[in-house]
Structure 1
Amino acid sequence: MSEFDFDFDLFVVGAGSGGVRAARIAAAHGARVAVAEEHKVGGTCVIRGCVPKKLLVYGSHFAEDLDDAAMFGWDVPQKRFDWAVLRDNVLAEVERLEGLYGETLTNHKVTVFKERVILTGPNQLSLASGRSVTAGKILIAVGARAALPEIEGQEHVITSNEVFHLDQLPKRVVIAGGGYIANEFAGIFHQFGSHVTIVNRSDTILRGYDEQIVDRLVKISVAKGIDFRFNAGFAAIEKREDGSLLCRMKGTQDIEADQVLFAIGRLPNTEEMGLRELGVELTERGAIKIDADFRSSIPSIFAVGDVTDRIQLTPVAIREGQAFADTQFGGKPTHVDYGCVPSSCFSHPPIGLVGLTESQAKNKLGVVRTYTSDFRPMKNVLAGRNERSLYKLVVDDGSDEVVGIHMIGPDAPEILQGAAVAVKAKLKKADFDATIALHPTMAEELVLMR
Structure 2
Amino acid sequence: MADFDYDLFVIGGGSGGVRAARWAAGYGARVGLCEEDRYGGTCVIRGCVPKKLMVFASGFSESVEDATGFGWRFERSDFDWRFFIDKKDREIDRLEQVYQRNLEKAGVTIHRARGVLEDPHTVKLSTGETITAAHLLVATGGAPFVPDVPGIEHAITSNEIFHLETRPERMLIIGGGYIACEFAGIMNGLGTRVTQFYRGAQILRGFDDEVRGHVAEEMRKKGIDLHLGRDLVSIEKTGSGLAVKCSDNSISEYDVVLYATGRRPNTRGLGLTELGIELGRYGEICVDEYSQSSVPSIYAIGDVTDRVNLTPVAIHEGMAFADTVFKGEPTPVDHANIPTAIFTQPEIGTVGMTQEEARELYDIEIYRTAFRPMFHAFADRDQRMLMKLVVDKASRRVLGVHIVGPAAGEMIQLVGIAVKMGATKEDFDRTMAVHPTAAEELVTMRHAVPG
Q: Which residue of 1 aligns with 2:79?
A: 81
Q: Does 1:371 align with 2:355?
A: no
User: Is this contact kept in 2: 1:231–1:251, CA < 8 A?
Assistant: no
Q: Distance in 2 between matches of 1:364 and 1:235?
A: 40
Instruction: Measure, in 2, the Cα distance between the counterparts of 1:212 and 1:292.
Output: 32
Q: Establish whether residue 346 from structure 1 lines up as the match of residue 328 from structure 2.
A: no
> Which stretch shows the higher mean deviation, 248-257 or 324-333?
248-257
Residue of structure 2 in register with 1:419 after alignment:
415
Aligned length: 446
- Answering whether residue 273 of structure 2 is matched by residue 276 of structure 1, we say yes
Alpha-carbon separation, structure 2, partners of 1:285 and 1:165: 28
| Separation (CA, whole Å) in 2 of partners of 1:253 and 1:5 | 65
**8 A contact 1:232–1:252 mirrored in 2:** no
The answer to whether the Cα contact below 8 Å between 1:229 and 1:252 also exists between their aligned partners in 2 is: no
Task: Tell me the equivalent position of 1:28.
Answer: 26
The whole-number CA distance in structure 1 between the counterparts of 2:344 and 2:250 is 26
1:180 aligns with 2:178: yes
Structure 2 residue 57 is the aligned partner of structure 1 residue 65: no
How far apart in 1 are the matches of 2:328 and 2:74? 60
Residue in 1 that maps onto 2:449: none
Show the counterpart of 2:238: 240
Q: State how far apart, in whole Å, the 1-side matches of 2:11 and 2:71 are.
A: 54
How far apart in 1 are the matches of 2:57 and 2:14? Answer: 25
Residues 1:252 and 1:202: Cα distance change in structure 2 (over 3 Å): farther
Whole-Å separation in 2 of the counterparts to 1:339 and 1:252: 44
What is the correspondence of 1:185-200 to structure 2 with a 5 Å cutoff? 185-200=183-198
Cα deviation 1:268-290 (Å, max 9, x = unaligned): 11111111111111112101111
Of 394, 397, 402, 1:398 maps to 394
Compute the displacement of 1:252 (Å): 5.5
Residue 208 of structure 1 deviates from its aligned partner by 1.3
Instruction: Work out which of the residue numbers 375, 379, 383 in structure 1 matches 2:379.
Output: 383
Instruction: Report how far residue 253 of structure 1 moved.
Output: 2.2
Say whether residues 1:205 and 2:236 are aligned partners. no
Structure 1 residue 72: Cα displacement: 2.1
CA deviation after TM superposition for structure 1 residue 263, in Å: 0.6
Output one character per residue of 1:72-113: Cα deviation in whole Å (capped at 9) or x when no partner.
Answer: 232222111111111111111111100000011000010000
Summarize the alignment of residues 30-429 of structure 1 with structure 2, pairs less than 5 Å apart: 30-242=28-240, 244-251=241-248, 253-365=250-362, 367-429=363-425
Is there any run of 5+ residues in structure 1 with no aligned partner, and where?
A: none
- Structure 2 distance, partners of 1:188, 1:89, is 17
**What CA distance in whole angstroms lies between the structure 2 residues aligned with 1:213 and 1:109?**
46
8 Å CA contact 1:342–1:353 kept in 2: the answer is yes
Compute the displacement of 1:221 (Å). 1.1
Q: Distance in 2 between matches of 1:338 and 1:273?
A: 26
Query: What SS does structure 1 have at the residue aligned with 2:69?
Result: helix
CA-to-aligned-CA distance 1:372-402 (integer Å, 9 cap, x gap):
1211111111111121101000100111111
* Deviation, structure 1 residue 200: 0.8
Aligned AA (1:130): G
Q: Is the 8 A contact 2:202 2:213 kept in 1?
A: no
- For 2:421 and 2:153, the matched residues in 1 are separated by 48
Counterpart Cα distance in 1 of 2:350 and 2:252: 33
Conserved? CA contact 2:351–2:401, under 8 Å: yes
My pick for the range that moved more, 257-266 or 244-253, is 244-253
**Amino acid across the alignment from 2:439:** A
Q: For the Cα contact (< 8 Å) 2:8–2:32, is it kept in 1?
A: yes
| Alpha-carbon distance in 2 for matches of 1:82, 1:447 | 42
- Aligned letter for 1:396? D
- Residues 344-397 of structure 1 show CA distances to partners (whole Å, capped at 9, x for unaligned) of 2101110110001111110011x2111112111111111111211010001001
Q: Is the 8 A contact 2:370 2:387 kept in 1?
A: yes
Uncovered stretches (5+) of structure 2, i.e. residues with no partner: 447-451
Shift of 1:198: 1.0
Return the letter of the residue paired with 1:422.
Answer: A
- Aligned residues with identical type, % of pairs: 48
Deviates more, 1:106-115 or 1:80-89: 80-89
Q: Distance in 2 between matches of 1:296 and 1:252?
A: 46
Encode CA deviations 1:307-354: one digit per residue, 9 max, x unaligned. 001111111100000000011001221111111111121011101100
Give 2:389's aligned amino acid.
L
2:422 aligned counterpart, secondary structure: coil
Displacement of 1:251: 3.1
1:69, CA displacement in angstroms?
Answer: 1.1
Normalized against structure 2, the TM-score is what? 0.98
TM-score, length-scaled by structure 1: 0.98
Instruction: Indicate the larger mover: 167-176 or 63-72.
Output: 63-72
The residue identity in structure 1 corresponding to 2:86 is D
